[in-house]
Structure 1
Amino acid sequence: MRRVVGFVLLGLGVFAVALGLLLRFWAYPQLAKAPLDTKSTSVAEGTGITALVIKTVDGTPSPEVEDDLNVRSTTYVTGDLTQPEVKADGDIAAYVEAIKTVDESTGITINATVRELCFDRFSGEAVAPCEGQYVEVEKGKRETPTKRGVVQQPGLSFKFPFGVDQQDYRFYDLQVRKAVKAKYVGEDTIQGLDVYKFVMDVPNTRIGEEEVPGSLVDEPDEPSVDADLYYKGKRTLWVEPSTGVIVLGQQEMTQELVPPGKEPGEGTVVFNGTLRLNDKTVSDFVRQAEDAKSQLQLLTMWPIVMWIVGGVLAAVGLFLLFLGFGRGESGMADGVPPRERQPVGASG
Structure 2
Amino acid sequence: MRRIVSFILLGLGVFAVALGLLLRFYAYPQLAKIPLDNESTSVAEGDGVTALVIRTVNGAPSPEIRRNLSLTSTTYVTGDLTQPEVEEGGDVAVYVEATKTTDDATGIVVDASVRALCIDRHTNEAVAPCEGQYIEAEQGQRVAADRSTIQQPGLSFKFPFGTEQRDYPFYDMSVRKPVNARFDGEETIQGVNTYRFVMDVPPTKIGDEEVPGSLIGRSDQPSVDTELYYQVKRTVWVEPETGIIVVGQEEGRQELLAQGQDPGEGTTVYEGLMRFNEATINDNVNKAEDNVSKLSLLTSWPVAMWVGGGILIVVGLGMLLAGNQRGGRYGTGPPLRRQPAGAAR
**Structures share fold, TM-score greater than 0.5:** yes
- Using the size of structure 1 for normalisation, the TM-score is 0.93
Deviations 1:321-344 (A, max 9, x none): 233344459x9432263999xxxx
Which residue of structure 1 aligns with residue 341 of structure 2? none
Moved more, 58-67 or 97-106: 58-67
Answer yes or no: is the 8 Å Cα contact 1:34–1:121 preserved in 2. Answer: yes
Structure 2 segments unaligned to the other structure (5+ residues): 339-345
Answer yes or no: is the 8 Å Cα contact 2:132–2:147 preserved in 1. Answer: no
Corresponding position: 1:262 with 2:265 = no
Which residue of structure 2 aligns with residue 234 of structure 1? 233
Answer yes or no: is the 8 Å Cα contact 1:160–1:245 preserved in 2. Answer: yes
Query: 1:69-88 alignment to 2 at 5 Å?
Result: 69-88=69-88
Which residue of structure 2 aligns with residue 346 of structure 1? none
Which 4+ stretches in 1 moved above 6 angstroms?
Answer: none
Query: 1:307-318 alignment to 2 at 5 Å?
Result: 307-318=306-317
**Letter matched to residue 221 of structure 1:** D
Which residue of structure 2 aligns with residue 126 of structure 1? 126
Which residue of structure 1 aligns with residue 179 of structure 2? 180
Which residue of structure 2 aligns with residue 68 of structure 1? 68
Which residue of structure 2 aligns with residue 207 of structure 1? 206
**Letter matched to residue 140 of structure 1:** G
Which residue of structure 1 aligns with residue 3 of structure 2? 3
Which residue of structure 1 aligns with residue 142 of structure 2? 142
Which residue of structure 2 aligns with residue 108 of structure 1? 108
**Letter matched to residue 77 of structure 2:** V
The CA distance in 2 between the partners of 1:179 and 1:337, in whole Å, is 81
Q: 1:199 to 1:336 in 2, by over 3 A?
A: same
Answer yes or no: is the 8 Å Cα contact 1:332–1:338 preserved in 2. Answer: no
Moved more, 299-308 or 218-227: 218-227
The CA distance in 1 between the partners of 2:8 and 2:223, in whole Å, is 87
Structure 1 segments unaligned to the other structure (5+ residues): 341-348
The CA distance in 2 between the partners of 1:85 and 1:226, in whole Å, is 42
RMSD across aligned C-alpha pairs, in angstroms? 1.8
The CA distance in 2 between the partners of 1:142 and 1:57, in whole Å, is 27
Which residue of structure 2 aligns with residue 283 of structure 1? 282
1:229 shift after superposition: 0.6
Corresponding position: 1:96 with 2:91 = no
The CA distance in 1 between the partners of 2:331 and 2:37, in whole Å, is 68
1:171 shift after superposition: 0.6
1:133 shift after superposition: 0.7
The CA distance in 2 between the partners of 1:302 and 1:266, in whole Å, is 58
Which residue of structure 2 aligns with residue 274 of structure 1? 273
Answer yes or no: is the 8 Å Cα contact 2:186–2:196 preserved in 1. Answer: yes
Corresponding position: 1:334 with 2:332 = yes
The CA distance in 1 between the partners of 2:213 and 2:68, in whole Å, is 24
Corresponding position: 1:25 with 2:33 = no
Identity in percent: 62
1:63 shift after superposition: 1.1
